[in-house]
Amino acid sequence: MKIDVVSIFPGYFDALELSLLGKARERGIIDLQVHDLRESAHDKHRTVDDTPTGGGAGMVMKPEPWGVALDGILSAAPADADPLVIFPSPAGDVFTQSMARELATESHLVFGCGRYEGIDQRVFDEYAARGRVRLVSIGDYVLNGGEVATIAMIEAIGRLVPGVVGNPESLVEESHEEDGLLEYPSFTKPATWRDRAVPQVLLSGNHAAISTWRDEQRIERTRRVRPELLPPEHRGESRGRHAAE
């Protein structure tokens, strides 16, 4: 998978070297290229922002540097690649595990990281007219720019690209995958820590009982914190109150 990122803060993306993505890049599974938007601003001060037309607070990203940067990336792409351009935005479709799975099948993603009050609308319109563009939100809160949202999406998408995560089973066996329930609580050694014992059943060696306990934990945890995720067959019957409630 080819990933291009356009940002005025390319240094943010150094963080991706530290995670799984670093290894995937070494192995050539993910080819990540970060572009400094300022290098596409050709005036003396490399200006990327200007005042909002019609008035209002803050600054808006000028369209010209975006045009130069995105034209460069898209014209260098193979003619059959059909790249998908993603702009992180609180006004976008909500990013979910299911969207991450879809995006992991793409061959070329281009992330455009806005700052200030956003990017001139004509940039979205231009690239939507020429190809595929999506506005994507990672949640209902406002960041200072698209960089952190892009890092979150690249990490979620990247680990689903075949060959990136070592054990494919660990991909399925986790929250939001398989059945949409939250994950069961995990424990390791020692069996008692600060007077807190690991649940007895996990030390029993009874794998059927452990599996049943974990399923119950997943359902109760989901009912407590994310009841909207519960499938209809688990709505209604409750197994009482819980310590973390």
Residue ranges binding ligand JA8 (CB under 6 A):
88-90, 114-115, 118, 137-138, 141-143, 145-146, 149
**119 - beta bridge partners?**
61
What is the smallest separation between the CB atom of 129 and ligand JA8, expressed in angstroms? 22
Q: Which is nearer to ligand JA8, 90 or 180 (CB)?
A: 90
Please choose, from the candidates 54, 70, 51, the residue with its C-alpha nearest in 3D space to the C-alpha of residue 129. 70
Which is nearer to ligand JA8, 86 or 219 (by Cβ)? 86
Cβ distance to ligand JA8 smaller for residue 24 or 61: 61
Q: Minimal distance in Å, beta carbon 146 to ligand JA8? A: 4
**In this complex, which beta carbon is closest to ligand JA8, that of residue 20 or of residue 152?**
152
Q: Which of 75, 89, 92 is nearest to 40 (CA)?
A: 75
Cβ 74 to ligand JA8 shortest distance, Å: 21
Q: Which is nearer to ligand JA8, 40 or 89 (CB)?
A: 89
Question: CB count, 10 Å around CB of 199?
Answer: 13
Q: Minimum CB separation from ligand JA8 for residue 128, in Å?
A: 17
Please report how close the Cβ of residue 151 comes to ligand JA8 at its closest, in angstroms.
11
Judge whether 181 and 222 are in contact, CB under 8 Å: yes
Continuous H helices in 77-228: 97-103, 121-130, 147-158, 168-172, 207-225
130 to 67, 82, 84, 87: CA distances (angstroms): 12, 10, 11, 15
| Beta strand segments in 68-187, E | 84-94, 108-112, 132-137
